[in-house]
């Protein structure tokens, strides 16, 4: 551990130990906002605790202050706003007690009654009805069910409709088929294709096989989800009609790229169908009558429906606020939003069962850069979209933000939107992702844009599981986005090998990334895809058991040449940040002469001092587009791993690599991924 990291850890530990001594204000689910905020008379809401501290400060008391949350559930109907008035406040679980902020409404299990024997049993099949329970939400005063809407690639993110969570597990709208897709057989009308300029918003028509849709009695609000053109562009579309005699589905909305068939991903499943509740995990809401139906999972300890649409907390234009040891659960939207703030930290928090992302860190407006805010030791799971949006910094001035996600576990995201909602979306200038484990996702783990970011010591695996033409770390289509470093990460078990997947995807002219000290094990169809870009370097990496190590092409000279054409997207992107003036002209020397340097030709992609173990094909494509040195080692033998069989790829001191690859440095494999911080023992 570096000296800087040791100092940071010590600082955080000291800060944690001091929290309970910071003029504490107590809040409890059993409290009252008419209390006084003491331990014996705590407030009921965090808002009241915040306002109490504000009043103290306005009367001259400067703190520091802390809000200590006693164990239990805190129900949020709206967003808690924290701003400059709340600078330095700590909000934390009292003595590590279990504190849960929920955006849902808890329903007592006794309110869930059997469908069998009721007037509603005829909706369901004989086999299923004895397993289905129903809750009259309207009678309980719950009337906001949200709306179903189009989502997926190319659509703006919006809060989900009401969802059901039982025993902490997210249920899904009843669907058919339960665990597969139905092929698009024949396209009769591909619909309006807005990607090609057709803005008529005409839905499409296509045929299906089999007779199952004939079982659906009410077709009023049935939706289909699928990959209707490309394996990286998901979409949710409402059905306009079902012609069961002709076996034709007609849609209300078009798909961005038009409907297509023939590819193995061109398929769909239908959802929001009451008759399809036939296994645990499925539910349906009759929005007209206000009744919830779901398949009985067995013992029900806790039943909850999501209501909150906005974030739980919005921290804006302030500094040094810390949120620690709290769970954020069961909402339709975002967990926490941090805007243009300095050193605001989320530590040891959990985020699950949210409709969108867990956390958004960004700047309020151009020129106002927040710095050094981030997450430490948090866990994120079961989000409808991604994990963290880690933005910040000014690209025009290359002012770094220093925002970060450190030591966090992010998994089982993309529960609703399947593509381009990453475990971590990093953007802006000078942000960091370190010591994280990101896994279990159909699409990208990290979606990158901007400059001078660090991606280091992360364990990224089991992502890109059900999409095509995808990378675990993806960026591209802007040659000004340079200076990013990917160092000492472990990329493994990427994709299922039935689609095209990569660990690092330098797409459409992406440039200027340094890849150093990483281990790629079974890391996709090809761990590195360099799509026409330049100035990418791969040094001191190990590739193991991959069918191909590098795929490289010159797409900007052929099918993607419009990108570098006069007036094209690259010219606009470069002019936007004044690429040939300070600070860009000094920071990135190659960029200042981009147009004079034949930008369509890939160049200076350095591959030096790498090791390829049991890699069938090292380079797929034109080798001349890589500067592949003689210092790379290609072998089919164990080069001296601590344990090849157990996937411990740290090198023994006796490894042949140190002799055969001059200057190869030991990769600190044991330091990759989550690291445990051992608390200092007080004497």
Which DSSP string corresponds to 352-370?
EEESS-SEEEE-SSTT---
pLDDT of residue 364: 86
Rounded to two decimals, what is the model's pTM? 0.94
Best CA proximity match to 306, nearest among 167, 103, 148, 146 = 103
The residue among 235 and 497 whose pLDDT is bigger is 235
pLDDT tens-digit map of 469-517: 999 999 999 999 999 999 999 999 999 767 899 999 999 999 999 999 9
Best CA proximity match to 359, nearest among 459, 454, 436, 474 = 436
The residue among 38 and 4 whose pLDDT is bigger is 38
From CA 527, how far away is CA 523, in angstroms rounded? 5
pLDDT tens-digit map of 343-400: 999 999 999 999 999 999 999 877 688 999 999 999 999 999 999 999 999 999 999 9
Peptide bond into 446 cis (omega under 30): no
The domain spans of the chain are 106-174+276-303, 176-271, 464-683
Tokens of 652: 């023994």
Which DSSP string corresponds to 471-531?
EEEEEES-TT---EEEES-EEEEES-SSS-EEEEEEESS---EEEES-EEEEESS-SEEEE
Residue that the structure tokens 């739980």 belong to: 312
Exposed/middle/buried for residue 81 (C-beta within 10 Å: 0-12, 13-18, 19+): middle
Tokens of 43: 């407030």
Could you give the 3-state DSSP secondary structure of residue 669? Answer: helix
pLDDT tens-digit map of 560-592: 999 999 999 999 999 999 999 999 999 999 999
SS3 track for 332-347 = CCCCEEEECCECCEEE
User: Is residue 609 pLDDT above 60, yes or no?
Assistant: yes
> Are the beta carbons of 262 and 112 closer than 8 angstroms?
no
Question: pLDDT-derived band of residue 62, with 50, 70 and 90 as boundaries?
Answer: confident
Strands 175-176 and 267-271: antiparallel
């Amino acid at each position: 551990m570096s000296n800087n990291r040791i100092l940071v850890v010590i600082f955080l530990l000291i800060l944690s130990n001091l929290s309970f001594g910071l003029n504490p204000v107590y809040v409890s689910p059993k409290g009252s906002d008419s209390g006084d905020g003491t331990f014996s008379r705590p407030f009921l809401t965090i808002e009241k605790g915040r306002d109490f501290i504000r009043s103290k400060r306005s009367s001259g008391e400067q703190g520091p202050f802390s809000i200590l949350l006693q164990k239990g559930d805190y129900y949020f109907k709206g967003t808690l706003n924290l701003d400059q008035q709340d600078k330095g406040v700590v909000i934390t679980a009292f003595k590590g007690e279990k504190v849960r902020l929920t955006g849902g409404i808890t329903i007592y299990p006794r309110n869930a009654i059997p469908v069998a024997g009721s007037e509603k049993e005829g909706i369901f099949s004989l086999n299923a009805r004895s397993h289905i329970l129903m809750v009259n939400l309207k009678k309980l005063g719950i009337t906001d069910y949200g709306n179903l809407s189009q989502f997926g690639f190319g659509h703006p993110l919006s809060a989900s409709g009401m969802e059901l969570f039982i025993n902490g597990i997210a249920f899904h709208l009843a669907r058919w088929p339960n665990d597969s897709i139905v092929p698009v057989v024949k396209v009769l009308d591909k619909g309006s294709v807005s990607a090609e300029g057709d803005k008529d918003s005409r839905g499409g028509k296509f045929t299906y096989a089999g007779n199952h849709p004939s079982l659906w009695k009410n077709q009023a609000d049935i939706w289909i989800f699928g990959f209707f053109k490309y394996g990286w562009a998901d979409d949710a579309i409402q059905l306009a009609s079902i012609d069961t005699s002709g076996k034709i589905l007609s849609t209300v909305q078009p798909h961005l790229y038009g409907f297509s068939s023939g590819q193995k991903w061109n398929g769909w499943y239908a959802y929001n169908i009451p008759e399809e509740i036939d296994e645990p995990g499925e539910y349906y809401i009759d929005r007209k009558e206000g009744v919830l139906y779901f398949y009985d999972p067995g013992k029900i300890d806790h039943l909850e429906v999501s209501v909150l649409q906005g974030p739980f907390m919005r921290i804006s234009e302030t500094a040094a606020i810390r949120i620690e040891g709290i769970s954020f659960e069961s909402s339709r939207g975002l967990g926490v939003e941090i805007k243009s703030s300095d050193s605001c930290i989320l530590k040891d928090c959990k985020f699950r069962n949210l409709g969108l992302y867990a956390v958004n860190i960004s700047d309020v407006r151009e020129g106002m850069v927040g710095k050094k805010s981030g997450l430490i030791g948090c866990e994120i799971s079961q989000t409808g979209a991604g994990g963290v949006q880690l933005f910040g910094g000014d690209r025009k001035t290359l002012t770094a933000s220093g925002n970060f996600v450190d030591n966090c576990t992010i998994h089982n995201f993309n529960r609703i939107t399947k593509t381009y909602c990453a475990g971590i979306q990093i953007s802006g200038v000078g942000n960091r992702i370190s010591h994280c484990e990101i896994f279990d996702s159909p699409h990208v783990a990290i979606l990158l844009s901007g400059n001078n970011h660090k991606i280091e010591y992360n364990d990224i695996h089991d992502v890109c599981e059900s999409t095509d033409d995808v990378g675990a770390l993806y960026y591209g289509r802007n040659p000004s986005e340079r200076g990013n470093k990917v160092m000492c990460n472990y990329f493994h078990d990427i994709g299922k090998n039935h689609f095209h997947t990569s660990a690092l995807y330098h797409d459409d002219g992406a440039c200027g990334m340094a890849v150093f000290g990483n281990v790629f094990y079974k890391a996709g169809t090809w761990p590195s895809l360099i799509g026409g870009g330049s100035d990418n370097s791969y040094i001191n990496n190990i590739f193991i058991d991959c069918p191909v190590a590098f795929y490289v092409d010159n797409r900007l000279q052929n099918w993607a040449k419009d990108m570098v054409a006069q007036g094209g997207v690259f010219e606009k992107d470069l002019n936007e940040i004044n690429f040939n003036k300070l600070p860009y002209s000094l920071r990135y020397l190659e960029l200042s002469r981009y147009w004079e340097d034949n930008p369509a030709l890939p160049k200076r992609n350095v591959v030096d001092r790498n090791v390829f173990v049991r890699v069938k094909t090292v380079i797929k494509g034109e080798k001349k587009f890589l500067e592949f040195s003689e210092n790379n080692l290609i072998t089919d033998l164990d080069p001296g791993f601590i344990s090849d069989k157990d996937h411990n790829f740290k090198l023994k001191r006796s490894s042949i690599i140190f002799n055969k690859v001059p200057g190869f440095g030991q990769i600190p494999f044991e330091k990759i991924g989550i690291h445990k911080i051992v608390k200092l023992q007080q004497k």
